[in-house]
Structure 1
Amino acid sequence: MTELCVTNLSVVRDGASLVSNASFQLQPGELIVALGPNGAGKTSLLRAALALERRSNGTATIDGHDTSQLSPMARAESIAYLPQIRPLAWPNLVRDVVALGRFSHGAALGRLQATDRDAVEKALAACDLEHLADRRTDTLSGGEIARVHCARAFAAGAPLLVADEPVAALDPRHQFRIMELIADYVAGGGGALVVLHDISLAARYASRILWMKEGRIVADGSPADTLTAGRLESVYGVRARVSGLSVEIDGAA
């Protein structure tokens, strides 16, 4: 079983501590949400765990292999990554963008093997993009583009997914749609670590929440165990009422 294991990871950049002694594990069957205010270190934690940003201390391994020692292709075979900023350099067809997810398997556009084509078609279907497969991406809405990026990640067939704010700038309907896709991916045997800013979405979908503040993981547990009014005040500085997994923000503390 593929597992991402992060132990005492720290990131220091230009003398500033961005992440301090963070530890967590991600494995198939889990949908972990990282929550915290802007500047809490969530993106740096994800990038350093995947060896996309230099870490100053600690370890990050995939099945015991240090992520910094793996080739980009080997990392991509284990973990599909959706970064916070996902520009499309040119207006490709939707099908071709989704096919980029197969590059970790040695595929190339126009030269897909049968297994690659099958993976692309399954990802298009899973993300309800079959009717848009031959559309140019510059003709799509923001919600449709978000589904294209998810399909690209799913096409890789990686056992783990790391997604940095996959629902940013989407309306509520499309936010739920993307989170449902990720939840289905986990239900199908994958494991996902997702950065969100919406506490209610986290409460609805997460099996675990990593609460971050000032570069540290200050709590790690289920929504039922960690989502409290006191936690929201200490992490976000807001007054809130929590009833079960329902959250109502009253204002700044």
Structure 2
Amino acid sequence: MALIRSNTLVSPGIYKMTVAFTGAVKPGQFFMLRAWDKDPLLSRPISVHDYEPGLLTFLYQVVGKGTEILARLQTDDDVTIQGPYGNGFPEITGDLCVVGGGIGTAPLYYLVRHYRNQNPLGKCRVYLGFRDIAYGVDAFEVLADEMILDVGGIITHKLAVLPGETVVTCGPEIMMEAVAKAVPKENRVYVSLEAHMACGIGACLGCSCETRSGNKKVCKDGPVFVREEVFYV
């Protein structure tokens, strides 16, 4: 159990939840959350939006019964969290370019903040795309050397990766595939996949995905993969 410190609406259908938690958490990892007994059956995988000792933050979208229950939780309520799970994003030492779409922007914030703390002289450029209403942009602007925002269009149409940048992307699969194809071969690209999960530890095989080296589990082998593994570019 974890004690909820806050759970607020930040945009239509988008909530930010902070809970009390102390442990080692890497950018790009996720937790399994639940606040119910038997219905719905499965916990919900939610990526880490931010973490500092004692306080863990999730940014999530209400898309079904489970997340509807999470959105109704109040300060000082309990929520069951299991994790952190997944491999997370790698440590990046050169320049960084992140490309996020919709709720896929959620795990990228902790990555950018961690990168800035570890690489104060490195350059970080951020591309964020939203279907209709942007959210969380101000927090990225504080950390980024350059911010490119698109609302209602296609963010990858604005993408111009610089030599030497490592690219990290999270969002709709069609967007990530477009990023994977657009970025020059010389640049390293990491993609963070989303999948339905039952256990979070690779035991149930419910989140298997095809990769160049055979089927892998998004929860255990991922959710972060190099682009060549999943998009075959």
TM-score by length of structure 1 reads 0.29
Structure with larger Rg: 1
Q: Which has the higher strand share?
A: 2
**More relative contact order in 1 or in 2 (CA 8 Å, sep 6+)?**
1
TM-score by length of structure 2 reads 0.31
